[in-house]
């Protein structure tokens, strides 16, 4: 029961991050580019539980945030979902390989999120020139992935310290 409550809280937090970030688009760099702060929740779930919980929380976040914004099954929903699925696959594989740190997993997720979105744009709009944005998006993914990885590592460190303190007092 406690795990379900914590996962529900993380889904809600991810929705809030996703909706807030939709107001803070960095259009002057690349149209539609966002840092991806909601992925902090996904990485937290991955390191706290497992890939299964990361997938559950991330997919619920995408569906519910789109529903709350009135964008469910809209083009932006499909772009978000395709990016999310590509990102989740890449992060799961990177995590299972044990070759990557939290930063590497975060950067991998950010890169594959953009790859998934570019593939979806090319498929939906039949606009293949969007692939020209991919090198710039991948470079920006390194920066955003580092930011998300850093935030995730700091949160995990602080939560680990709190859990140890709680366990000692019981």
Q: What is the pLDDT of residue 28?
A: 60
Q: What is the pLDDT of residue 24?
A: 74
Question: Which is higher by pLDDT, 71 or 13?
Answer: 13
H, E, C per residue of the chain: CHHHHHHHHHHHHHHHHHHHHHCCCCCCCCCCCCCCCCHHHHHHHHHHCCHHHHHHHHHHHHHHHHHHCCCCCCHHHHHHHHHHHHHHHHHHHHHHHCCCCHHHHHHHHHHHHHHHHHHHHHHHHCCHHHHHHHHHHHHHHHHHHHHHHHHHHHHHHHHHHHHHHHHHHC
Q: What average pLDDT score do residues 123-133 get?
A: 82
Per-residue model confidence as pLDDT tens digits over 3-14: 999 999 999 999
């Amino acid at each position: 029961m406690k795990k379900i409550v914590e996962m529900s809280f993380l889904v809600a937090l991810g929705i809030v991050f996703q909706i807030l970030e939709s107001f803070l688009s960095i259009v002057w760099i690349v149209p539609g580019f966002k840092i991806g702060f909601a992925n902090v929740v996904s990485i937290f779930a991955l390191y706290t539980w497992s890939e299964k919980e990361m997938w559950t929380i991330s997919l619920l976040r995408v569906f519910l945030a789109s529903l709350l914004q009135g964008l469910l099954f809209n083009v932006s929903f499909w772009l978000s979902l395709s990016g999310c699925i590509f990102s989740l696959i890449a992060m799961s594989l990177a995590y299972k390989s044990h070759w990557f740190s939290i930063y590497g997993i975060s950067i991998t997720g950010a890169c594959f999120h953009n790859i998934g979105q570019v593939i979806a744009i090319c498929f939906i709009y039949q606009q293949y020139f969007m692939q020209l944005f991919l090198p710039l998006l991948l470079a920006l993914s390194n920066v955003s992935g580092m930011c998300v990885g850093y935030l995730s590592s700091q949160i995990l460190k602080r939560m680990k310290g709190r859990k140890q303190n709680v366990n000692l007092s019981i």
